[in-house]
Amino acid sequence: MVGYILRRLLQAVLVVLVVTIIVFILLHSLPGGPARAILGPRATPGQITQFNHLNGLDRPLVVQYFSSVWGWATGNFGFSYVLNQSVGSLLAERLPKTIILALFSLILTVIVAIPIGVYQAVRRNRTFDYIMTALSFIFYAAPTFFLGLILIEVFSSVLGWFPPEAPQSNGVVPIFQQFPAMVLPIVTLALLSIAGFSRYMRSSVLDNVGQDYVRTARAKGASPSRVLWRHVLRNALIPIVTLLGLSLPALFAGALITESIFNFPGMGLLFWQAAQQSDYPVEIGVVIVTAFATVIGNLLADLSLVAIDPRVAL
């Protein structure tokens, strides 16, 4: 167990290092270099030289890389000249909001998708299974922005149940005070995941139903519900736990579109605005934090997988 955890930690560190190398290379591959990209096309050679000297961009690339990695590790992601604010403070302000959106979306996905997938497997090739399969394909194929606009039109414009815009607060607490405004963004982000998770859950349950341990439990007189919920479910959840870790990049990518549609001031909207304004320090900061969060999420999923099935550590 300890060896498995150490291996996974080492792999996580290596992945983060590879991401930092790629980001560093992309940063220095910008036309005219980082100085020209940040100062703009009208910057004079003297201004570029001064900028490079003040930010250490005239030093050897190896020194610049390790300096950048140390800065990222200590929370120094540079300065946004567009917003006139440090990137670290921007991320500290926006990241908790995106985490709340992604977390509630993931909770809703698990609560809805797992029972649907189990019930589809139990009632396979029947009306409910056919209906949920069709809906899963529709939601899985539909773009996030399309689902968001449909939800706004139906539940905000027509029915008037929920606000069309997410909370515009500067802190986290007001989000919970205006939680009805978070319903549509959370549902929009969760619909795509629910479609995929329910299909995986259905397939996993069907794979386990025909295993020898299920026949043995039935032969011992265990009731069908006990076999399903005490034996099959635990083993069927193994691929779902793995999928939870792998779904984090998709959640952050979906958050970018969802936050733009509902004008939710999180990391996704910050990245979208930075891309429109060529605010490269902010874009790099968001990429680094997202990569780190993805690695941590996958690591936690692996550790949870060992807790569910100790054989994985072998």
Does a structural domain hold residue 63?
A: yes
Q: Are residues 191 and 240 in the same domain?
A: yes
Q: Are residues 56 and 109 in the same domain?
A: no
Side-chain-facing half-sphere of 274: CA atoms under 13 Å: 28
pLDDT of residue 40: 67
Q: Give me the domain span that covers residue 108.
A: 92-276
Q: Are residues 133 and 21 in the same domain?
A: no
Q: Are residues 235 and 105 in the same domain?
A: yes
Alpha-carbon distance of 80 to 90, in angstroms, equals 9
Q: Are residues 33 and 97 in the same domain?
A: no
Does a structural domain hold residue 298?
A: no
Does a structural domain hold residue 179?
A: yes
Does a structural domain hold residue 127?
A: yes
pLDDT 10s digits, 146-167: 888 888 888 888 787 888 877 7
Q: Which of 78, 103, 122 corresponds to the end of one domain? A: 78
Q: Are residues 25 and 65 in the same domain?
A: yes
Q: Which of 168, 145, 146 is nearest to 256 (CA)?
A: 145
pLDDT 10s digits, 169-204: 777 777 777 788 888 888 888 887 788 788 888 888
The backbone torsions φ and ψ at residue 78, rounded to the nearest 5 degrees and listed phi first, read 100, -165
Does a structural domain hold residue 52?
A: yes
Q: Are residues 98 and 241 in the same domain?
A: yes
Q: How many domains does the chain have?
A: 2
Query: Apex CA 62: angle with CA 57 and CA 67, to 5°?
Result: 65
Q: Which of 78, 106, 126 corresponds to the end of one domain? A: 78
Alpha-carbon distance of 292 to 289, in angstroms, equals 5
Does a structural domain hold residue 86?
A: no
For strands 79-80 and 85-86, give the pairing.
antiparallel
Q: Are residues 261 and 183 in the same domain?
A: yes
pLDDT 10s digits, 229-251: 777 777 777 777 777 766 776 66
Does a structural domain hold residue 312?
A: no
- Looking up residue 193, the CATH number of its domain turns out to be 1.10.3720.10
Q: Are residues 66 and 128 in the same domain?
A: no
Question: Which residues are bridge partners to 86 per DSSP?
Answer: 79
Q: Are residues 14 and 117 in the same domain?
A: no
Walking along the chain (314 residues) 10 residues at a time, the average pLDDT comes out as 72 80 76 67 74 73 79 76 78 82 85 84 80 81 80 83 79 77 84 80 78 72 72 75 71 75 82 77 81 77 69 58
Q: Are residues 55 and 116 in the same domain?
A: no
Does a structural domain hold residue 55?
A: yes
Q: Are residues 115 and 180 in the same domain?
A: yes
